[in-house]
Amino acid sequence: YFLFSDINITTHGSDWYWAVTAVMAASTIAFLATSLMVTRERRIFHYITAAITLTASIAYFTMASNLGYTPIAVEFQRNSPKVAGFTREIFYVRYIDWFVTTPLLLLDLLLTAGMPWPTILYTIFLDEVMVITGLVGALVASSYKWGYFTFATLALVGIAYNVVFVGLKHSRALGSTVNRTFMVCGVWTIFLWFIYPIAWGLSEGGNVIAPDSEAVFYGILDILAKPIFGIMLLVGHRNIDPATLGL
């Protein structure tokens, strides 16, 4: 198994990516199967959540197959003498996944808070800025990448403000059942989302950890932020009357 070992994930990395692919695919089936057990008005949350894990299944299938990356120049290779001319694989397919799935995660969350459409759309705009600047930063070889990291982090602060302060204000007005679900899923989301820039700084940013470690770091985050988040949200919705949310 010689997979261009100067930059690529190893077979361990690939096996782990296949395992995450399986988790995402199984979650998709479970979210769709359980949609048949709830009332029509509640199904939209199952569909949104299943779309998130379906998209992730395809992204993880791509990375497990050692595709969806491009080599980007790094200053020096890990564990090697500081010689110029090395590259690191940068999985741009992650960002294509995030561009589709993070707006859907925000939609799941902010619909649950009963947030008005203009505020939901504006939060999604900030999310698009975050993912795109993160992608550009990952593809830039020079230290300008940290400029893009800063733009993405500022966008994330804007998202967090809208979720934590604006979202909480709206969910409070809808009573304790809605508020409890929104609180649990909102705190979970904001906590996890702020760990992504750390993973980025150690991987695409600073080239500090190996691509196999990057696989584990982002993989665990993605399982917690997609299927586990989805379970928490859908369990919460079993006690929420969709009419309260205007659905």
Question: Where on the chain is the footprint of ligand RET (CB under 6 A)?
Answer: 98, 101-102, 105, 130-131, 134, 149, 152-153, 156, 193, 196-197, 200, 222, 225-226
Smallest separation, CB 105 to ligand RET (Å): 6
Answer for the pair 161, 110: CB distance below 8 angstroms, yes or no: no
Q: Which is nearer to ligand RET, 2 or 165 (CB)?
A: 165
Residue 66 or 217: the one with the smaller Cβ distance to ligand RET is 217
Q: How far is the CB of 243 from ligand RET (least distance, A)?
A: 29
Alpha carbon distance 247, 243 (integer Å)? 5
Identify which of 159, 162, 178 has the alpha carbon closest to the alpha carbon of residue 112. 178
Q: Are 243 and 41 in contact (CB under 8 A)?
A: yes
For residues 49 and 105, the answer to whether their CB atoms sit within 8 Å is no
* CB closer to ligand RET, 13 vs 134: 134
Q: Are strands 70-74 and 86-90 parallel, antiparallel or unpaired?
A: antiparallel
- Residue 134 CB, nearest distance to ligand RET (Å)? 2
Shortest-Cβ-distance residue relative to ligand RET: 134
CA distance 229 to 244: 22
For ligand RET, the closer CB: 174 or 225: 225
- Nearer Cβ to ligand RET (46/217): 217
- φ, ψ for residue 194 (rounded to 5)? -75, -10
Q: How far is the CB of 75 from ligand RET (least distance, A)?
A: 19
Residue type, 124: I
- Smallest distance, ligand RET to C-beta of residue 70, A: 16
